Amino acid sequence: MFYTSTRDKSVKVTAAEAITNGISAEGGLYVPCEIPEIDRGFIEKLATLDYIGRAKEILSLYLTDFTESELDYCVNGAYKAGKFDCEAVAPTVELENGVSILELWHGPTCAFKDMALQLLPYLLTTSAKKTADGKQIVILVATSGDTGKAALEGFKDVENTNVLVFYPNDGVSAMQKLQMCTQEGNNVAVCAIKGNFDDAQTSVKSIFTSAEVKAKLAAENMMFSSANSINWGRLVPQIVYYFSTYCDLLNQRKIELGEKINIVVPTGNFGNILAAYYAREMGLPIKKLICASNANNVLTEFIESGFYNKDRDFYTTVSPSMDILVSSNLERLLFHLSGENDAFVKNCMEGLFEDGHYTVDKSVYEKIRGVFEGGCCDDTATKNTIGDIFSRFHYLCDTHTAVAVQVYYNYLEKTGDDTPCVIASTASPYKFSPAVLEAVGSKDAVGDDGFKMMQTLEALTGVKIPAPLAAIQNKPVRFDKVAARSEMTDVVLDMLGIQH
C-alpha cells in the first residue's frame, strides 16, 4: 500500500514515510492510493476480538510496510490494560432504543484525541527508524484544546522526540489550559498564542514547511513531524473504532450483520468524521455520516450548498474544540470525491487561501450529498440538550457530544430516518464543567474554582470525576508563556536550543 498527496499525484511514499513526514512537501496531505476493501467475514471475525485485536486487523490493511511484530508492539503499547479506564477502550452504550453513544474519552486526557495519540508515538518512532535514521523528531502541534494535551501525554519522555504545543490564549477551556500547562516530561513545551485556533494552525503549517527553519533543524540532525490530524498516523487509528462500535452493536444484538447504521460526529477539523468515511468506503455498512457543528457552521453550509466560505464571524463557544473555520481534513475528502483530481484540490485550497472560499462542482457536490448530512446548533441549544439528555436518560454528556446529539434529533425529526444510529462522544463532561454544570441546573456554582465545580457536578449527577482530571489539582504550572504569531518560530528554535 502506498500513499500519495492530495495536491500532487506523482508523489508515492510508504506509510512509514507518510507518518514521519506528516505533510507532503508541496503542502498536500497524504492519502492512501487505494482504500482497502473488506467483506462480511472480516467484520464477523473482528466481532470476536478485543479492541487491540480489532486495531491490529485494521491497521495491518493500511500499514503494510510494518511487520507483524512492529504492529503488535505499537498496538499493545497504546491500548494495553490500564491506559484507558475501561476494558473495552471505546465502549458503545445505549442512550435509547436505536440510539447508541460511542464513548471515545476513556484515555488519559479524557478526550477522543487519546484514541489516536496514544498510538501515534509508537507509529512515529517505528516509522522514523525505517525512514529517518537517528534523527530527532520535533512534533509541532496547533491545538483547539484537546489535541495539545493528548499529544503531550502521548509523547512525554518518548526517546528521540520533542513536542511543542501552541494553543489560542482565549480559545480553550480553563481545564484544558490547566491540563497542558501542568504537563510533566523532559521533552515537552507549551506556549499560548495571541490569536484563534486557525491562526495557530496556519502559523504552525508555515513553520513546518519553511525551508529556512527546516534547514536549521537539519543542521542539528532534527526534523519536524506533526501530531495534528493532518498526519495519516492520526487518522488511521480512528478508523478502528467505527469498526469496533459496529461489532459491539452486533454483539449486543442491536443490529444484524450487514445492516446499515448512521453515524453522527461532532466535527471541527474533519478528522474524526473522515475516519468514518474511510470505514464506509472500506465496506463497513454505514448509510449516512452526519456532520455536527456548533455556531461555527462553515461545514453545515458547505454540505448543504457546496460552497466553502471561511470569511465569516468566528465564535468562541462552549464546545471550543470545534471552533474552527478551516477544516484541514476536508482536503482529503475532496481528493477522493473528485476522482483523485489533484489539480482540482490544489485549486480549491489556493482559492481558500487567497479568497477565503471555494465552490465544488456539481458532481462532487452530489457525491457529498449522497454520504453526508450536516447540521449545527448554538450554545443555548447545546446546554439545553445536556440538561434534557440528563433528565430523560440520566446520561451526562459534554458540550461537543451534546452538539452531535442535538443535530441527530433534529435530523431524525426532519427526515424520519430511524436507522440505528451511533453518536460519537468526544470528551468527558468534566473537561467542560462550567457549561455542563449550568446545563444540569446548578447555575449558582458556575464561577467557582474549577475543581470545586467538578465536585459539585459529581455530587449532583453521581457521575465520577475521571482520575487524571482530579489529579491536576496538585500539579504545579510549568508553562505560562504567551507569544504573538510573529514570535512562534523563535519559540520553536528556543525550545530546541538552536541559535537564531
Ligand X SMILES: *Cc1c(COP(=O)(O)O)cnc(C)c1O
Active-site residues, by number, are: 113
For ligand X, which is the closer residue by CB, 171 or 495? 171
By the rule CB under 6 A, 228 interacts with ligand X: no
Give least dist CB 205 to ligand X, A.
15
Binding span for ligand X by CB under 6 A among 62-70, 89-97, 106-114, 359-367: 106-114
Q: How many CB atoms lie within 10 A of CB 298?
A: 23
By the rule CB under 6 A, 271 interacts with ligand X: yes
User: Which H, E and C letters describe 66-77, residue by residue?
Assistant: CCHHHHHHHHHH
List the one residue out of 249, 229, 217 whose CA is nearest residue 93.
249
| Beta carbons within 8 Å of 294's beta carbon, 6+ residues apart | 315, 317, 318, 319, 322, 323, 376, 377, 378, 379, 382, 403
Give least dist CB 400 to ligand X, A.
4
How far apart are the C-alpha atoms of 233 and 118, rounded to whole Å?
11
Give least dist CB 449 to ligand X, A.
23
By the rule CB under 6 A, 468 interacts with ligand X: no
Count of chain residues binding ligand X (CB under 6 A): 17
Task: Determine which residue in the list 207, 427, 453, 491 makes contact with ligand X, applying CB under 6 A.
Answer: 427
Which residue type sits at 53? G
Give least dist CB 266 to ligand X, A.
5
By the rule CB under 6 A, 154 interacts with ligand X: no
By the rule CB under 6 A, 111 interacts with ligand X: yes
How far apart are the C-alpha atoms of 372 and 467, rounded to whole Å?
37
For ligand X, which is the closer residue by CB, 126 or 238? 238
Residues 435, 436, 438, 442, CA torsion sign: negative
Q: For the sheet with 261-266, list strands across it.
A: 92-96, 99-103, 421-425, 261-266, 286-293, 372-376
Give least dist CB 444 to ligand X, A.
26
By the rule CB under 6 A, 296 interacts with ligand X: no
By the rule CB under 6 A, 266 interacts with ligand X: yes
Give least dist CB 103 to ligand X, A.
12
For ligand X, which is the closer residue by CB, 4 or 144? 144
By the rule CB under 6 A, 400 interacts with ligand X: yes
| Beta carbons within 8 Å of 99's beta carbon, 6+ residues apart | 408, 420, 421, 423
For ligand X, which is the closer residue by CB, 17 or 379? 379
By the rule CB under 6 A, 120 interacts with ligand X: no
Q: Counting Cβ atoms within 10 Å, is residue 33 exposed (0-12), middle (13-18) or buried (19+)?
A: middle
Binding span for ligand X by CB under 6 A among 40-48, 189-197, 264-272, 473-481: 264-272
- How far is CA 235 from each of CA 52, 318, 458, rounded to the nearest angstrom? 17, 25, 33
Binding span for ligand X by CB under 6 A among 88-96, 266-274, 367-375, 458-466: 266-274
C-alpha cell recorded at residue 238: 480512528
List the one residue out of 441, 400, 391 whose CA is nearest residue 423.
400
Binding span for ligand X by CB under 6 A among 105-113, 116-124, 153-161, 488-496: 105-113
By the rule CB under 6 A, 333 interacts with ligand X: no
Contact 306, 365 (CB under 8 A): yes
By the rule CB under 6 A, 297 interacts with ligand X: no
How far apart are the C-alpha atoms of 448 and 433, rounded to whole Å?
10
- 3-class SS at 438? helix
Task: Determine which residue in the list 179, 294, 385, 426 makes contact with ligand X, applying CB under 6 A.
Answer: 426
Give least dist CB 118 to ligand X, A.
14
For ligand X, which is the closer residue by CB, 117 or 255? 117
Give least dist CB 259 to ligand X, A.
26
How far apart are the C-alpha atoms of 270 and 86, rounded to whole Å?
26
By the rule CB under 6 A, 322 interacts with ligand X: yes
Residues 12-41 that bind ligand X (CB under 6 A): none
By the rule CB under 6 A, 177 interacts with ligand X: no
What is the DSSP secondary-structure string of 370-387?
HHEEEEE--HHHHHHHHH
- 3-class SS at 176? helix
Residues that bind ligand X (CB under 6 A): 111-113, 146, 229, 266-272, 321-322, 400, 426-427
